[in-house]
Structure 1
Amino acid sequence: MYYDVSDESQIYELRCKATCITQGGHDITSYFAELKSVWLKLDRRRPINMKCPDDVKIQQAEIHKDCIYDFLVGLDDEFDKIRGYWLKLSPLPKLEESFAFIRKKAQRREAMLKKDGKIESSAVMVSKARIASFYFSHPTPEEKKNMHYTFCNGNRHIEATCFHKNGFPKWFLERQKQ
């Protein structure tokens, strides 16, 4: 009723809320929608009052980065690898791309973990993966030469073995340091 656009306490409260909202086990879409509503309120209360178009673009880019950071920091721990991978990208992708990518990963993970309406534990998934890899043969060197994966534009591997898409294992990073 007594709305004041310049009320700093409201801006402070919204900024705190944006940095404190977490996924908390909820689905990605509802988490993102909640963040987006806070960002819209912040935009209304904190308009960009610059005259130089270049400065406006710079300020918008900074706000865009803040939104991506807010989104990534509030994700559940299961997205830690994706969060790390995403922050390494340069330039930082758009907010909508970030949301779409992580939502796709969450949907894929949920589909892979579900069995008969129940979610299997990660230990069961790991043991099943080890058993499956034991029974299925590895590609021959000739078959590997013909492999190409478009996500990372890499050769000699497929989606299931792409480090860029699935995260880098510790042994790979240690080997690169050596």
Structure 2
Amino acid sequence: MFLNTSKEIWEAVKQTYSKVQDAAQIYEIKTKISSTKKGSRSITEYSNLLQSLWKEMDHYQCIQMKCSKDAALLKRFVEKDRIYDFLAGLNVEFDAVRVQVLGKEELPSLNETIAIVRAEEGRRGVMVENSQVDSSALVTKAVSERRFGLEQPNSEDNRQTERTKPINRDSVWCTYCKKARHTKERCWKLHGKPQTTNKNFSEKGGQPKGQGRAYTARQLDGKNNSQESPVEFNKEEIEKLKNLLGSLEKTSSTGTEYEEDDWTC
């Protein structure tokens, strides 16, 4: 093919290889733009990807306007359309800033819109970092308290502690017989002396009062015997041991002592 001028050559090349006004190519770019979402990208990466597609679209559409006013109107129309594309591809967490931009009386420019969304992204990043630091501090504090036993007891523990505190019998007063160390509910003059009262017994574990030493000795002997070989006693030694224990019981059971639930008058 022989052409006389360079203009003819360029026109021939344009007609042969250029895809300007190619409907299929424009449709493909349009599809890419509508399917582009922010996803895990940053706002900068997301906006740069859209801008590259928009420039490619401008190349293939190649709209030429003869009137300057019409050109300005077309430019503003295209910019608004691209603002809508940009906002539509944002994630759900940017709904607030999306409403903020669309709620303005006059829609901002594309660059201003990108700047607003980028500022919101930076603010959210700072808030997430602060929340992570706070949660890490709470976890560290909880671990330290468990490790060093610094946890505060809950209300149930406090109530349990209060229930187990010993009662001061000197502060108890009977309103019926006007005597101390018992209440009206346990007054013998009002209710009579109970038949099962035995001052040799206390309420602490049902252990006989005055027999604590012998009882403890038997406990210790039982523990030692479980670990050592059994010791055999003859009848004479058993009788001596019984007499010794009996004398200890008589000696230790003397004296008056009142416990929490003793009946007195």
Native 8 Å contact 1:6 1:46 kept in 2: yes
AA at the equivalent of 1:6: Q
Deviating beyond 6 angstroms after TM superposition, the runs of 4 or more aligned structure 1 residues are 116-120
- State the match for 1:82 in structure 2: 97
Sequence identity of aligned pairs in percent? 37
Displacement of 1:3? 3.8
2:68 is the alignment partner of 1:92: no
CA shift, 1:118, in A, is 7.5
What CA distance in whole angstroms lies between the structure 2 residues aligned with 1:52 and 1:33?
31
Paired with 1:119 and 1:33, the residues of 2 have a C-alpha distance of 34
Choose between structure 1 and 2 for higher RCO, CA contacts under 8 A separated by at least 6 residues.
Answer: 1
Segments of structure 1 that go 5 or more residues without pairing to the other structure are: 121-178
Aligned partner of 1:17 in structure 2 is 32
Give me the TM-score of the superposition, normalised by structure 2. Answer: 0.43
Counterpart-to-counterpart distance in 1, 2:62 and 2:123 = 38
1-structure distance, mates of 2:123, 2:84: 23
Q: List alignment gaps of at least 5 residues for structure 2.
A: 1-15, 136-265
Deviations 1:9-65 (A, max 9, x none): 111111121111000122111111100100010111112212111111111111000
TM-score, normalising length: structure 1: 0.62
**What letter is aligned with 1:32?**
S
CA contact (8 A) 1:113 1:119 kept: no
- Once residues 49 and 88 of structure 2 are traced to their aligned partners in structure 1, the CA distance between those partners, rounded to angstroms, is 14
CA distance in 2, matches of 1:119, 1:60: 48
CA-based RMSD of the aligned residues comes to 2.2
Going by fraction, where is strand more abundant, 1 or 2?
1
Q: Partner amino acid for 2:96?
A: K
Report the equivalent of 2:47.
32
The alpha-carbon distance between structure 1 residues 41 and 119, as it changes in their structure 2 partners (threshold 3 A), is: farther
Could you say which structure has the larger radius of gyration?
2
Distance change >3 Å, CA 104–CA 18, structure 1 → 2 = same
The letter for the 2-side match of 1:45 is: Y
1:101 aligns with 2:116: yes
Counterpart position of 1:139 = none
Q: Does 1:53 align with 2:68?
A: yes
